[in-house]
Amino acid sequence: MRTILSKKTYSWKVTQWDGPHTCLNMSMTQDHDKLDSDLIVTCVVGTFFMFILSYFCVFGYLKFFILLTGMIREDTSIKVSLIQERINNEFAYKVSYKKAWMSKQKVIAIEYGDWEESYAKLSSWLKHMQNNFLGSYFQILHDDFIVGNRVSREHLQFHRVFWTFGQCKEAFNYCKPMIQVDGTHLYGKYRGTLLMATSQDENDGVLPLAFAVVEGETLTAWSWFLTHLREHVIDKNGICLISDCHTSIKSTFANKALGWQPPHAYHVYCVRHIASNFNRKFNNVKQKEMLKKLGKI
């Protein structure tokens, strides 16, 4: 620690401190180097809020910690601008976008583990699932990990994963002979696409059947997913399989070797997707809703 004696105020001022920074100057309104991402993380996760609370003796900050912690835990996709706004409203500090973004990433790592850790644990977690839940199945595909110009013998690079729970497979025996498949983009540190197959019970409740994380909605990815779905999840014929009009899905169903042709399965298109495509072309919400109603007749 380094301090100096001020000749104006005749008081000692700390100019350097190697430990964690915890004090805040409430007269400052602009971003500064002491308000770093580590301090913001402390505020967000609430691990230090009792100290701050007692230091300032202002119970209004309790609301800040509760709200911001709740926002991160309930919605990991929370906008960085909202974190900036909350800190500014509660502390009168204007933090940079970069600091708020780094704080968000550190909070996610504290709550859920970092990205590399999570991918490293994926294989062991799925093996535990398969060993302890009868009927569960998974497969992970890896690519070679290149270091320089050589293939590393110690590391593998994640490519795809498919998994299904035994309980869901068993529950499908009591559901409608219908499966819906769709994909959605992932927006984390590592991009990709989540593919999913679901069914419905007699009360229109949704039953998840199988999942996959792949590189994208490509022909090879959809073929790989639907092949595993047929081999390891679906063991009966006469299935009505519903999807959107994605070219890769249509090409996959056209492949007779994959077992999705009649009488094994009957491919139909989702009315909601058709209605959305109709509205995108003709821009008529009223007719879009009428088209969706036709699918229920």
pTM, to two decimals: 0.70
3-state DSSP call for residue 172?
helix
Report the pLDDT value the prediction gives residue 183, as an integer from 0 to 100: 95
Report the pLDDT value the prediction gives residue 33, as an integer from 0 to 100: 55
What does the DSSP assignment read for 65-110?
A: HHHHHHHHHH-TT--HHHHHHHHHHHH-----HHHHHHHHHHHHHH
Cβ atoms of 101 and 78 closer than 8 Å: no
Q: Could you say which residues of the chain have pLDDT below 70?
A: 20-71, 90-91, 296-297
Report the pLDDT value the prediction gives residue 60, as an integer from 0 to 100: 42
Q: Is the dihedral of CA 259, 261, 264, 267 positive or negative?
A: positive
275/281 Cα distance (integer angstroms): 10
Report the pLDDT value the prediction gives residue 22, as an integer from 0 to 100: 55
Show the tokens assigned to 36: 């770093």
